[in-house]
Structure 1
Amino acid sequence: MIEAAVRPAPKPSREARAADLRRHQRVKVSLLGRYMLADRREFPCQTVDMSPGGVRLTCAALGEIEERVVLYLEHIGRIEGTIARLLPGGFAVRLSATLRKRDKIASQLTWLANRDSLGLPEGRTHERLTPHVTGVVLRLESGREVAARIIDISMSGVALTTATAPPLGTSLMVGRTPGRVVRYFEGGIGVHFMLPISPDLFHEGLTL
């Protein structure tokens, strides 16, 4: 009986190895967003680092290991996964995504990582407008409500006049839109939205 020669498995090509590395390379990137746990509770979050296969988050409410999580991240959009491990001040998520989606995330992360060094325009810099209705109520996490008036607004944030200036980094609701206080100016504050306003909703008749 003649045994067939056992041939060693072919080594992956350089292109395949590069694609695999690209899918799993972790990038330090700070993106605002929201996440929904299995019980449908939603909370704000911020990324610490991310790869096409996983993301590490800073957040207040921790879930359980292997709990399903739905994430909405600026520049990335909607992604899903399961909690892989709990960390001080947050947790790490193992993403569930198709190969096509992972490649898309890899491209987005590459752009984000190189944006500053290459002098590329920042994705959240948008045209600003003043809506017809400028009065709005700010709702702090404590439940306190503060009256404010919109100076101008973009798809990514809003400048407001208000008699109360919450601390920088404070999460709050501008009407029904979640955001975070990112700057002060005389007589008001700047708020960055957790997720950009959809372009088809961005017009002078919008309400937050």
Structure 2
Amino acid sequence: MAISESTNPEERRGGTRIQMQILGSFMTDAIGATACEICDLAPGGVRLSATRQPSQDDRIGLNIPALGRFVGKVAWVDGNEFGVQFTASAGARALANELSTRRSLERMNITLRKDGQAPTLTLSRENGESSEVTLQKLTVEGASFTADTLPEVDETVTICDMPATVMKVVNDRFAVRFHPPREAALD
């Protein structure tokens, strides 16, 4: 996921981000260690706030206690905020993906089973029919499921009160892309 080069901060975001307020620190060649606040995080980048800002295109090292170290490039600077596009570390991307998945689980009010079995959820269709589906994979933007009764591609469904569009159906599996959260649509 890349942070676009738009001049509008709202358009620079690459994918859905998890809002947060975590303290960390960053370092560039020109600026020593500087405290910062992590404002939001996505698999491809992060938005930070700090009293001192790096320059656009600077290489940056970012340390977020309890999450790890990230390496990236400053994609934009606007006032006391700036965006960083991750440039290395598959581990950092995996961690950001894990955080995104956990956020999706929270939004859907899903508790993972302790026995490791995939949770069974209710899928509701626009025609009023409901069926049980088994979660296979979840990301911040979508999910895949197995089911006995499959929806159609491009059909709008609701899973755990979250509307989604069916993107793919193969054998006994289907994948959906979630619609943006209502709060984001009002901004």
Where on the TM-score scale, by shorter chain, does this alignment land: which range?
0.3 to 0.5
Structure with more strand by fraction: 2
Q: TM-score, normalised by structure 2?
A: 0.45
